Structure 1
Amino acid sequence: MSNNDWKKRLGVVYSTSDDFDYEKEGADEQETLPNEEQKLKVLLDKKQRKGKKVSLITGFQGTEDDLKDLSKWLKTKLGVGGSAKNGEILIQGDFRDRIVELLSNEGYNVKKAGG
């Protein structure tokens, strides 16, 4: 991949000034909190999923890469599929109790919500 990706600069107004330096909005990505300071909630969701259940983990404070790493670790431990985006982790199926147990053992402040 090239460092000169034009899609990242859509909507940018260019300057002819020699001393102009472009700064991206949102470049300061949120720092990931330690496990003990995370306040995660695990709930069951089946809205807009054609009746299929997913375990939804919300409340993660940190970078998108750390969120994806945590998601990958959980999916591996549970042997299921899922995804991670927008600060949420989706795990296919109802694994709320097992997720709470796994995250608690890793030092996360986690609770089961709803049901």
Structure 2
Amino acid sequence: MTLVYSTDVGRIKPEEEKKQRPKGDGIVRIQRETKGRKGKGVSVVTGLDLDDAALKLMAAELKKICGCGGSVKDGNIEVQGDVRDKIKAHLEKKGFTVKLAGG
């Protein structure tokens, strides 16, 4: 039997470990995604092995180049619109191996 609630401290949860992002295979993938976005497309950049601060800087750089908005979610960069070609060209210039994934 596991203790779930105590009147002294309230709800008791086991300590959750800090989530580790899976290590990529060295290839950055860019895909277009519309699911769950009311038909609006975004370009999702996955596989960048960067820490959170560097990832945010890279996202800001990509958004500036593409001239549109976006965000960082779960270690992936989401840029609004179908701007995969611009993103691919910029990342290849930076020295990343890039593939266009999906349709």
* Range of TM-score over shorter length: 0.7 to 0.9
Alpha-carbon spacing, 1:65–1:75, altered in 2? closer, same or farther (3 Å): same
Question: When the two structures are aligned, how many residues end up with a matched partner?
Answer: 90
Normalised to the residue count of structure 1, the TM-score between the two structures is 0.67
Normalised to the residue count of structure 2, the TM-score between the two structures is 0.74
In the TM superposition, 1:62-73 aligns within 5 A as 62-73=50-61
Distance in 2, Cα, partners of 1:91 & 1:49:
13
Counterpart in 2 of 1:91?
79
Distance in 2, Cα, partners of 1:38 & 1:109:
7
Distance in 2, Cα, partners of 1:45 & 1:76:
20
Report the Cα offset of residue 12 of structure 1: 8.9
Consecutive unaligned residues in structure 1, runs of 5 or more: 1-10, 14-24, 31-36
| Identical positions, percent | 40
**CA RMSD, 1 decimal:** 2.6
Distance in 2, Cα, partners of 1:98 & 1:72:
14
Distance in 2, Cα, partners of 1:12 & 1:43:
36
Distance in 2, Cα, partners of 1:49 & 1:60:
23
Instruction: Select the residue among 20, 24, 32 that pairs with 1:44.
Output: 32
Distance in 2, Cα, partners of 1:106 & 1:38:
14
Is the contact made by 1:56 and 1:88 (CA closer than 8 Å) also made in structure 2? yes
Is the contact made by 1:64 and 1:85 (CA closer than 8 Å) also made in structure 2? no
4+ aligned runs moved over 3 Å, structure 1 = none
Distance in 2, Cα, partners of 1:12 & 1:93:
41
